[in-house]
Structure 1
């Protein structure tokens, strides 16, 4: 009855021929002519393992501590994240800007159509319109210390404001308010937006509508705070709130 030589048998034969230690985590060269197939320290350790007196490998201790630490950190992050108020979450800044601009454009267009149908016989559009947007996105950061990176955060906030201005056709005032609450950096920008609305002509016999600008007050709030929702990576969370009324 024949037998099959496995890859392990071939490997052991190769190690014997190359005069290396057969211990898989050693593989050092043995002295020429020695009858042993394992290094002296490997033999001693193997005997201690068989007797149950050998300590656990260092990497097992480290991995056990790391897993325990990761579990504790994850639970801590979950507890902290659950206490934070949440807004609609977007995958990235581009997705948030796209949705904000789309919603704002649809709101202004719907407002113009609404007033064009209801303004006949009235000199002032009614009622007051109100637009609201809330959204947030998160990115990986170097650490949780947002205040230490305040200058970098401020530059990112101003760049985000400029993107909203350019895409939404808005113009925010150069003056803004900044405050720090609970480790979060909050910036507020004000704007006056001239929206187009349809009003009736002065002559009540004429049914034609005249497009005139309508002044609306706007406020943009950008909040930057540490994001501790991930179990391993520090993050930075940006919340965008925009209101337009008039």
Structure 2
């Protein structure tokens, strides 16, 4: 904004921090009287209240006087839900998970040489055969981070899953589930539920709109999830019938 003479005003916005809301200090600024000023660092509790927020310094000059305002801008997410992501399938093709929107999905980090392998693959295929594929999907992400129990190549993993275990559900490329380079689609689920895998065959249930519903470890039999899955699938079917009326 501006006016003639000394009645001018200048509004300057300077972002201080990005990321996870760490403490930040503004660059030195010259005030109205020529004095150098430094914006105060944010209170330590700010970062815990709004994770990922951005601190913004607003320099307001009106009529020769200078004011400093420190604002906390909440983070904005560019990814709305699980189906907004993409992932690479077992044959190296990029898959837009949007293709699964409208279906209930059970996302599982699988392994070929785990003590849970035989029981889980059989139960997952049974559930997929009985409830899928129109309204229900099993999305398997092989991972070698737990006990190095998925050591083979993607082609070897696919051959084992398809021919040895008889799995017909979608298989994705070997993925990291832990650490900074974790598969983003999986990382979204873990962060949303506040739970990440601690071993192979963790199961994450996602509703038809891509919202995470729950997580279960390998000690929970796949069949125990049937009531929750059936309930979500029933909702999908009823919604589609209502839309057709």
TM range (shorter): under 0.3
* TM-score normalized by the length of structure 2: 0.24
* TM-score normalized by the length of structure 1: 0.24
Rg bigger for which structure?
Answer: 1
